[in-house]
Copies of this chain bind each other. A is one copy, B any other.
Amino acid sequence: MALSGFRDFYPDDCAFRNAIFAKWRDVAHRYGFVEYDGPPLEPLDLFTKKSGPEIVGQLYNFKDKGDRDVALRPEMTPTLARLVTARHKDFKKPLKWFSIPQVYRYERPQKGRGREHYQFNCDIIGEASLEADIELIALLIDTLRTFGLTEKDFVIRLSDRVFWSDVMKTYGVPDEQSYEFIQAIDKSEREGKEKFAERLSKITSNTDNLAGQVSATLDFSNDSVKSERLDTVEAGLRARGLGDYIKRDYTVVRGLAYYTGVVFEAFDRTGEFRAIAGGGRYDTLLKNLGNVDLPALGFGMGDMVLGDLLKSRGWFPEKQDDLKVYVVIADEAHRPAAMKLVQEIREFHTVEYSFQPTKVGKQFQLAEERGCQAAVVVDASLANGMVSVKDLVKREQQTVEIKNDGVLLALGAMLLDQLDEDWNEGEDEETP
């Protein structure tokens, strides 16, 4: 058994995981992001420096044999900050970097949340303008769209940390109560109006009706405070045709202390799952961690919630554009020659064959089980330099000469044929 909270990836699970990774990489590349990675094990203080000593309770940390305090990384941002601040002069700004680390935490495993998961991390570093916020949120939207999810499936809730600082200033909420204030906002949706009013009643302010004012803001019925930042970001996303994917929601404040601007979370519309992704701007973190003053923003998306959502929508990995060929050895005397053929075909296609002498009918059955679309039959006619090539999908067969690449040409034509058909099928699907 695997350790509690850790996953095994049998071939089907691994194919599903890798298909998610491939989509993540593809969309990141289309946005001009480049991939980086770091060690799964880091010095413990890399994480406590960012998140405070409280974080240790959730970490998979230990003392190693050299008496170092180390931890399996719970998130990628501290490693990213370490890499960027160490060599920031080597890279032209803005940096657009992504990574797909496996991250760890020592917490009780529950549904949709184990002790490890993979996390797609995308960050833009060295760009203060809101164009970068728009770009990053567009990337998040396109990441989910690339799996076939639409505006009916998910929504990005947008909020603004600075907006709440402004509100606190407007109503004279003192700095030492800002944590309680943000907590009240964070919990307002879950806890309801009454509890919210109770929380705010304990907070000092220059208005008799702080709860009412703030509630009105959350309902968008209060125009006295505004986020021009969010106006700009929303307009930018609408210009890209992405207006249907976003919703302003000031209750999103993101727990983490280090956000400094626009923050956002992606949710499925049914509310069935945890947040799919979250992120925002953290302009002061690199200065605090590595003493390099670079504005930054990013998001993280785990593979578990996304995977559950995709499974609930019946998504499955796309068929590979390749040809699987079964070399049928009908005459064991010709096995050595058959193996030469296997070797040649494998330069271009996947080839299966039977290790053991096996009846021809059984070999065709194995070909089918392995998902082969073509078979090359080696029998007595090999003596005349000929083999049969069968299209197992169309049930057609031809005899070809081995010399002059006859087999490769026949298989190549078969692959083109099949790609054509897949293409046409794809076309049909789009026409309702």
- Which A residues form the contact surface with B (CB < 8 A)? 1-3, 6-11, 14-15, 17-18, 29-32, 34-43, 60, 62-65, 68, 70, 72, 82-83, 86-87, 92, 94, 97, 102, 104, 106, 116, 127, 129, 131-132, 134-135, 138, 142, 235-236, 239-242, 320, 322, 324, 335-337, 339-340, 342-343, 346-347, 349-352, 355-356, 369-370
Contacts and interface: CB of A to CB of B under 8 A. Distances in A.
Nearest to A7: B39
Contact of A2 (B39, B236, B356): B39
29 contacts: A2-B82, A3-B42, A3-B70, A6-B41, A8-B83, A9-B37, A9-B38, A10-B83, A11-B36, A14-B36, A15-B34, A17-B37, A29-B322, A31-B351, A32-B324, A32-B350, A32-B351, A32-B370, A40-B102, A41-B60, A41-B72, A129-B355, A135-B355, A236-B336, A239-B335, A239-B336, A240-B343, A241-B340, A242-B343
A97 B122 CA distance: 32
Centre residue among A15, A129, A343 by max chain B CB count within 10 A:
A343
A65 B343 contact: no
Centre residue among A3, A43, A116, A127 by max chain B CB count within 10 A:
A3
Q: Which 10 A-B pairs have the closest CB atoms?
A: A239-B336, A6-B39, A9-B37, A131-B355, A11-B34, A62-B62, A240-B343, A32-B352, A14-B35, A30-B346
Contact of A3 (B43, B324, B346, B350): B43
Given A239-B339, A241-B340, 11 more contacts: A6-B41, A10-B36, A14-B34, A41-B60, A41-B104, A64-B106, A65-B106, A132-B355, A135-B355, A235-B336, A240-B339
Given A41-B72, A70-B3, A342-B240, A351 B30 contact: yes
Contact of A36 (B9, B70, B104, B106): B9
B3 A41 contact: yes
A10 B39 CA distance: 11
Main SS of chain A's interface residues? mixed
Contacts of A63: 62
A87 B10 contact: yes
